[in-house]
Structure 1
Amino acid sequence: MMQISESHLQKNSLFNSMNRFIGAVNNMDQTVMVPSLLRDVPLEEEREMAALKSSGNSDIEDGDMYSYYQLLKSIRCDIEWGVMRAEKLKESRGPSSRNDSKEEESEVSSEEDEVNLQKQFQFHMTGLHGVLSKLTQQANTLTNRYKQEIGIGCY
């Protein structure tokens, strides 16, 4: 019990990062009453969003706030329901090149067995925490931009 309450109070814990992100996306979802108003509204060229656009993410190829809104909601769903569920949904929508990637995964997994698992875990935890922090900030930015677009304020 003591460990759970201590980790819950950790500001930089993964659990708290996920909760902050989910809370920010929930707030965004509750604020954005008419998501279609976000169509054709360009993303603000802030550092975070510019970096995301330049990373070549196919989910936001339109480059408007609506596609970014959908992306953030999709990531929230993956966190809440699990990535495996999302992959099953994608597979049920149509054929993909999953067979080729499974062969590559088996070759890579044998090599990964030799790597120190603790280092891998720390590396991925650090990366996930950083990504969740950036996504939380971007969900808050999108919410504020929506409020500005519809004239609510929050300047």
Structure 2
Amino acid sequence: MMQISSGSASNKHSLLNVMNRFIAAANNMDETIMVPSLLRDLPLEEQADSEVEANNNNQELQCPNKQKDMYEHYLLLKSIKNDMEWGLLRREVSSGAGFLELPVKQEEKEQVTGDLLLDDNSDLEHQFHYHLRGLFGVLSKLTLQADHLTNRYKREIGGGSFMR
């Protein structure tokens, strides 16, 4: 059985560290936001700023957020954290469809099995590094979003003096 050395876990650039930072930020968000329903109908700041700028320039938004309000964004971050902690298999095994269930389960299964067969495992190292860089980037952004959502919630309920 392969063991992970304690030195690799302490490296601030390790995948485990980046994952732990996101999970810690999501846990902090979840502990801070006691009444998630207060987030309903509160627009994301970035989205609101982009819409104002786009309306002023009469241009279409280039990269709109899929979440309509802070509540949906909160649910997305919690769902991603749960997927990281419990894995994707839990989603498939569960009988009920979750809030963020994607209707492309069959497509995901085909990609997992089909892509590897098509590539014939020719350049696994390149694929690994490509996806690792992407994972680092996504987890870093999700961590910032969880922290931002937590701080915004504190501002909205008047708890801004308790910000970390």
Percent of aligned pairs with the same amino acid: 51
Partners of 1:23 and 1:4 lie apart in 2 by 22
Partners of 2:111 and 2:19 lie apart in 1 by 30
Q: How many residues align?
A: 144
User: Does 1:7 find its partner at 2:8?
Assistant: yes
Give the structure 1 partner of residue 156 of structure 2: 149
Give the structure 2 partner of residue 20 of structure 1: 21
TM-score by length of 1: 0.79
TM-score by length of 2: 0.75
Partners of 1:116 and 1:20 lie apart in 2 by 30
CA RMSD of aligned residues (A): 2.9
> SS of 2:91's equivalent?
helix
* Structure 2 counterpart of 1:74, from 71, 79, 82: 79
Partners of 1:3 and 1:105 lie apart in 2 by 26
Alignment-mate amino acid for residue 75 of structure 2: Q
Unpaired stretches in structure 1, ≥5 consecutive residues: none
Give the structure 1 partner of residue 58 of structure 2: none
Partners of 2:10 and 2:93 lie apart in 1 by 34
Give the structure 2 partner of residue 29 of structure 1: 30
Using the TM superposition, give the Cα deviation of residue 45 of structure 1 relative to its aligned residue in structure 2, in angstroms: 1.2
Change (3 A) 1:105 1:125: closer
Unpaired stretches in structure 2, ≥5 consecutive residues: 52-61, 98-102
* Structure 1 counterpart of 2:88, from 83, 99, 106: 83
In the TM superposition, what whole-angstrom CA distance separates every residue of 1:83-142 from its partner, at most 9, and x where no partner exists? 1212333xx336x56456655665433212243111111111111111000000000000
